[in-house]
Amino acid sequence: MRRFFLITLLLGLCGVANLSAKDNQTKYKYAEVKHFTNAEVVGMPQDFASDFHIRFSAQLVKEKVVTQTIEEGAAVPAEDAADSIVIEGKFTEFNKSGRCALKKCDGHIGYEINIYRKSDHSLIAAITHVTSSRGEITGHYWASGGGVVDSILEATSLIKKALK
């Protein structure tokens, strides 16, 4: 009876390890992450958008969405083109938090993201989302990068789910 229990336990642990390893593999090798543009009515500061781009590219690799990010317009080896994607985005809303009639207000960033296959530029996924800040915050939170981080974590999570 003990032997059966130990064998069952070992087989179960091996199965869990295999599932975990599959989940940690990236589906795409390269991602060309284009700088997000602003919709006409969005007053996104340029330094905020640049910071978003740098951190977003790094987060895609960290979360194992892709193996490596590349610069806009960079070529990938022909054998990897089918396993490469292009990520384009547009900021549709931007409201930095701050004081609203002497009370704290939440900030938010809205964006649209389109993901294309690099080889034939066919659309893989389209995402529209608005990220709100966590809890009551002041303008300092956004100024110190908190709003960028919240937005990037949500965008990366949404992309990961869309590409499964």
Convert the pLDDT of each residue in 20-66 to its tens digit: 445 567 889 999 999 998 888 777 778 888 888 999 999 999 999 99
Enclosing domain of residue 91: 27-162
pTM (2 d.p.): 0.74
Distance CA(97)–CA(139), nearest Å, equals 5
As a residue count, the chain comes to 164
Residue whose C-alpha is closest to residue 146's, from 34, 55, 45, 46: 55
Q: What is the pLDDT of residue 20?
A: 46
CB 135 within 8 A of CB 104: no
Asked whether residue 153 is domain-assigned, the answer is: yes
Asked whether residue 90 is domain-assigned, the answer is: yes
Distance CA(34)–CA(36), nearest Å, equals 6
Asked whether residue 20 is domain-assigned, the answer is: no
Q: What is the pLDDT of residue 19?
A: 45
- Where the chain has pLDDT below 70, the residues are 1-24, 96-107, 132-147
Number of domains into which the chain is organized: 1
Q: What is the pLDDT of residue 133?
A: 60
Q: What is the pLDDT of residue 29?
A: 95
Asked whether residue 12 is domain-assigned, the answer is: no
CB 60 within 8 A of CB 113: no
Using the structure block, give the residue that is written with the tokens 């066919």.
122
Q: What CATH number did the domain enclosing 62 receive?
A: 3.40.50.10610
